[in-house]
Amino acid sequence: MREWEEGRKDREESRKRLLESLAMSIGNIGRGWKIYRRSLLAVLGLVMVLSVSLVAIFADEIAVQHPYRNLTDTEDKWSNNPDQQESPPFSEECSLRAQKITTNPNSPLFSETVVAESGNKVRESIALGYYTDVLSVTEIIKIESISPPGYDQDMSLITVDPNNSSIFVLSPELYGNSSYYAGVWITYLYENDEMSHWWMPEGYDTCIFGTNKEGHDVFSKVVYGARVSLTIGITVATLTVTIGTIVGSISGYYGGRVDEVIMRICDVFFAIPGLILAMAFVAAMRSVSSLTLPVWLGVLLPVLMLAYFLNAHLSTTILSGDNKVSDQAMGMLMKNRSLLVSVLAFLFFVGWLPAIAWSDFFGVSHSRGWRLTSSLVVIALLAAIILADRKFVQKNSMDGALERLSSSFDWTNPWRYLNFRTVVVFLSMAILFKLSGNEGSEIILIKDFDKLWQVQFALIFTGWPGYARLIRGQVLYVKEMAFVEAAKSVGAPPSRIMFRHILPNAWAPLLVAFTLDIGGTILSASGLSFLGLGAAPYTAEWGLMISESRVAFQRAPHMMLYPGLAIAITVLGFNLLGDGIRDVVDPKNRR
Amino acid sequence: MKLHEFVVRRLLLLIPVMIGVAVFTFAVAQIIPGDPAALQCGDKCGLIVGYTEEGEPITAHQANRERLKLDDPVSIQFERYITDLVNGDWGESQKNGRPVLDIIKTSAPVTLEMAFFSLMIAYPLGIFLGIISAVRQDRMFDHVSRFFAIAFVSLPIFWFAMLLQLYFATGPEVGGICDPIFGTEGGCFPIFDRHDQSYTYPIEGYHWFYPEAGTGFHLVDSWFVTDAKLAELPSEFDTNRELFMDTLTHLVLPCSALGIASSGSLLRYMRASLLEVLHEDYVRTARAKGLSEFRVVVVHACRNAMVPIVTILGFSIGGAIGGAVLTESVFGIHGMGTVAVLGILQLEYQIVMGVTLLTSVIFLLSNLIVDIAYAIVDPRVRLE
């Protein structure tokens, strides 16, 4: 074990290298920016994307809290408020309220002065009860009797207290007159100090885009919609890129039969028009309420991933021989693969495998017995396969494995491990940790697998083949280059060649496709929502808002105008950004 | 490779993809939640419809499961699904028992008609603007048209369709711009549906002329409506021609929405393709011969630049069908997209399977035809 002081030289060396590469990438970005800014449209696109992102990040600050908006509404779930009618942009009606006033002196609720207050608003949680805002009245519009309804009454019956603009004073003839015994409706204009907004001009606190049929502020919904749409776009694009890259590079690198199978699967996906495919996937995922993994998969997948990435490292440290762990296991599997395939085929055709419900197959089962048995069986099977290979045990001695392992890890030099791969691993772990939960014997990957998640997964399923094909082409092209040959000849493992040598040389079209795909995803997701297959009702999703506006779009076009404009601007921004990046990464433009 | 070899090879390549699509649709139908047997009997599922030999009661639900053979292993169900498909039995709607193939037969032509006319708008528009854009590279027109090309690609098509409705199919009190200019009443074009609202639909899902001519294409069918039927119609539709014009005007807005949206990408392809061709030697030769610039561009360059554009035709058809789902929804047209959406919302998985399968068949066949056409035009393709 080395001392901390001993590693100082290495530390400094690694740090220097890290800083150098950082400086280099900053230089690259600077050069790219110089090419990028040549195109006005590209700069415009960047501005659009940045402004939409800023709106999404600061949605809580920007969105106006609408008077009718219930406080339990969150950024993407808005309640139904059937009483309120839509009002056009900038209309006074948004600061208009009708309040019921009891005029029967015998009623326990009766008082000669009445406070002007907003409707009940729910506190942060319903258990904390309700509260109301006190409003300051600017003008009384009309006074109506409740029974018989709809008759305008004399405006002098109720006056506003001159000292306090939020108190109504009832005149004696109102409560002395038995014809008003049921009370009156008073309609008035008001200002609500609770809702004054820091960036809004005086008097336009609400309704710059009008309200919709439920009385939700369209502006606030559009603002929160940026959050929803960007989340969908970025999540889907990231995951499709990841899956597509992995599949495509495997397909391109190994070629042959693997390539053939993967490409035929991609052909199937290409054969069905994207939107219809996504619709079918959404339908298929209707009953999934949370994305869970059985324990065996939850444990096995990370272990396998780590084993794959650290394959070379582990095989030189844990094992003294030069046989790699995966080679052994794979060799065993490969040798008996015809047997395995025939067993599987037998099970399938006898009808035993289909007896397992599909939901169990995808790990969404709720039966405890199935989970336990399947976990045990799978882990035992894998262990048996590895251990049964006697050659593996004979050839390799495990003596001193721990020592070798610890000596291979240089704990005195943390800089050495600060690279792109670790950053990505930690980032994805943090995101997964945030989304996931734990319930009994199942690992829950995504706790709240709501309709938005269903849309996202549908779009991921439909999106990956495009990337796979793109990356495959790139890999096929780069694979033939001399440096790959050189890496192969010095014995670099396939994973290293793929991630270290091929992918860094194939990322340029990927970056462009990624940027364009964010826009495309936002479009498809809003299309699905528009058809009623996407976001749940009342969500602040732009496509859904347009869909909800359809009933009255001739009478109230503002309900569909602004969300549509928001989609168009966001998607246009990403498309222009993608075009700009294409110019930057185009080798013709590098000077 | 000879041409017929090429065609046979392409046809053979279709088979695994078609099998894959069938597997896919089957898998989706398996995963879609909801019990088809329970869907069919609705609230009468508990009703006892008979007794087994042992005297145990059979409920309507059980009888349905028995009839649909849902208790069989998945592998056997799949085998039956494939044989039924080949035999032309695509299942039936669980709500009203109408055969899926019948539903598709009336709805698919509607969508195809729309897709066809939208491409008729998209291709000339995209190619024409693309040529001008390429000829005037880096000038004002180029920048503007490229911006619009990206903007059209970025527009949500359903929103664009609604805007068209708002501005071209309504009166001035709503925001329509037509009436003051053209002197029309209530907009230039009809706002909704596939023909005039005063028609009636005698059978659910069939359009008005369908029983007369039976092609399913409204434009074709409207020519073959008999005089007896015409006499039943309101007075403004006395002749087949008026009927035809009515169905045609109903197509204008949906097809413009679809066509303009897809012309954006065509413009960009055409521009890139023509720019490449303009640097070729034979174009320089043509210029050196002293031909007019118009002749050089249109006759010499464009013909070669168009070849790659034709190959996108196959993909455009797929895109147009996808876009048609949204446009149909906006304009209330009973096409394949509407049928698919309703199928998903009502868990009619047979219909979803049928539509998915049919769209993929259309897409694959159009791609095949385009590829063969390409191989005829450009013999180099065959050599691969």
Please spell the DSSP secondary structure of A88-148, one letter per residue: -TT-GGGGEEEEEE---TTSTT--SEEE-BPPPEE-SSGGG-EE--B-EEEEEEEEEETTT
Are A240 and A517 within 8 A, CB to CB?
yes
CA distance, residue B309 to nearest chain A CA (Å): 19
Over residues A129-157, mean pLDDT? 78
Asked if residues B175 and A557 have their Cβ atoms less than 8 Å apart, the reply is yes
Please tell me whether residues B263 and B329 are part of one structural domain.
Answer: yes
CB contacts under 8 A, A 299-358 vs B, are 348-349, 351, 354-355, 358
Query: Is the bond preceding A148 in cis, omega lying within 30 degrees of 0?
Result: yes
Distance, CA of B67 to chain centre? 34
Tell whether B15 lies on the interface with A, counting CB pairs under 8 A: no
Residues B48, B116 within the same domain: no
Question: Who has greater pLDDT, A552 or B214?
Answer: A552
Domain stop point among B73, B95, B117: B95
Which chain A residues are closer than 8 Å to B192 by Cβ?
none
pLDDT digits (tens, 9 = 90+) for B30-80: 777 667 777 667 677 777 777 777 777 777 777 777 777 777 777 788 888
Which residues form the domain of B14? 3-95
Residues in chain A, total: 591
Locate the chain B residue with the closest alpha carbon to A574. Answer: B154
Taking only the tens place, the pLDDT of each residue in A385-428 is: 555 555 555 555 566 667 776 777 677 777 777 777 778 878 88
- Nearest CA among A12, A26, A170 for reference residue A99: A170
Q: Is the pLDDT of residue A495 over 90?
A: no
Q: Final residue of a domain: which of B68, B95, B122? A: B95
Angle in degrees, 0-180, between the axes of helices B240-278 and B140-154, rounded to the nearest 10: 120
For chain B, give me the number of helices (H) and strands (E)?
A: 17, 2
At B197 the pLDDT is 59
Residue B10 reports pLDDT greater than 60: yes
In tens, the pLDDT along B133-179 reads 998 888 888 889 988 899 998 999 999 999 999 888 888 887 788 88
Assign B297 to helix, strand or coil.
helix
Q: How confident is the model at residue A351 (pLDDT cuts 50, 70, 90)?
A: very low
List the one residue out of A590, A585, A517, A579 whose CA is nearest residue A39: A579
CA gap A518, A236 in Å, rounded: 8
CATH for B110: 1.10.3720.10
Residue A444's beta-bridge partner residues? A292, A437
- pLDDT tens for residues A245-261? 889 988 888 888 888 88
Residue B139 tokens read as 């000038």
Task: Give start and end residues of each alpha helix (H) in A480-590.
Answer: 482-489, 494-496, 507-530, 542-549, 558-585
β-strands A291-294, A442-446: how paired?
A: antiparallel
Could you tell me which of A191, A227, A266, A185 has the C-alpha nearest to residue A467?
A: A266
pLDDT value of position A375? 56
Residue A76 or B311, more confident: B311
Same domain, B83 and B118: no
Nearest chain B residue to A569, by CA: B154
Residues 316..345 of B with a Cβ closer than 8 Å to A: which? 318-319, 321-323, 325-326, 329-330, 337, 340-341, 344-345
What average pLDDT does the segment A184-194 reach? 79
Phi, psi of A115 (to 5 degrees): -85, 135
- Interface contact B356-A272, CB threshold 8 A: yes
Highest mean pLDDT among A72-81, B94-103, B118-127, B365-374: B118-127
Asked whether residue B145 falls in the same domain as residue B256, the answer is yes
Q: How confident is the model at residue A350 (pLDDT cuts 50, 70, 90)?
A: very low
The residues in B 342-381 lying below 8 A from A, measured between CB atoms, are 344-345, 347, 349, 352, 355-356, 359-360, 363-364
Q: Do the beta carbons of residue B362 and residue B353 sit within 8 Å? A: no
Q: How confident is the model at residue B203 (pLDDT cuts 50, 70, 90)?
A: very low
For residue A589, the distance in angstroms to the closest alpha carbon of chain B comes to 16
CB contact under 8 A, B73 and A568: no
How many domains does one find in chain B?
A: 2
Strand partners, A189: A96, A139
Structure token pair of residue B3? 């041409």
Do B156 and A523 count as a contact with CB atoms less than 8 A apart? yes
Last residue of a domain, one of B95, B130, B146: B95
| Nearest-by-Cβ selection for A572 from B151, B174, B318 | B151
Q: Which residues of B touch A39 (CB under 8 A)?
A: none
Provide the edge-to-edge strand list for the sheet that holds A158-160.
A113-115, A167-170, A158-160
Mean pLDDT over the full length of chain A = 77
CA distance A265 to chain B (A): 7
Judgement on whether residues B234 and B370 belong to the same structural domain of the protein: yes
Q: Contact at 8 Å (CB) between A452 and A228?
A: yes
Complex prediction ipTM: 0.88
In this prediction, residue B120 has a pLDDT band, given cuts at 50, 70 and 90, of very high
Q: Which residues of B121-131 are buried (b: 16+ CB within 10 A; e: fewer)?
A: bbbebbbebbb
Q: Are residues B176 and B196 in the same domain?
A: yes
- Calpha distance A197→B361 (Å, rounded): 56
Long-range CB contact pairs, A161-166, < 8 A, 24+: A161/A113, A165/A136, A165/A137, A165/A138, A166/A115, A166/A116, A166/A117, A166/A134, A166/A135, A166/A136, A166/A137
pLDDT of res. A525: 94
Tokens 């009336």, located at residue: B106
Fold classification of A37-90+207-289+448-591 is MetI-like fold (1.10.3720)
Mean pLDDT of A270-296: 78
The domain segmentation of chain A, as residue ranges, is 37-90+207-289+448-591, 92-203, 292-447
DSSP A505: G
Element (H, E) at A271: helix A256-271
Strand (E) or helix (H) holding A159: strand A158-160
The residues pairing with A137 across neighbouring beta strands, listed in sequence order, are A190
* DSSP for residue B70: T
Instruction: Give me the pLDDT at residue A352, please.
Output: 42
Tokens coding A162:
């001159």
Using 50, 70 and 90 to split pLDDT, how confident is the model at A191? confident
Cβ burial of B10 (10 Å; 0-12, 13-18, 19+) is middle
Same domain, B87 and B144: no
| B188 & B78 share domain | no
Determine what percent of chain B falls in helix, strand and coil, rounding each to the nearest 5.
70, 0, 25
- Write out residues 5-34 of A within 8 Å (CB-CB) of B: none
* B229-244: b (≥16 Cβ within 10 Å) or e: eeeebeeebeebeebb
Contact by Cβ (8 Å): A301, A293: yes
Task: Judge if B72 and B183 occupy the same domain.
Answer: no
Q: Using the 8-state DSSP alphabet, how is residue A499 labeled?
A: I
> For position B101, what pLDDT does the model report?
86
Contact A467, A510 (CB under 8 A): yes
Q: Are residues B107 and B91 in the same domain?
A: no
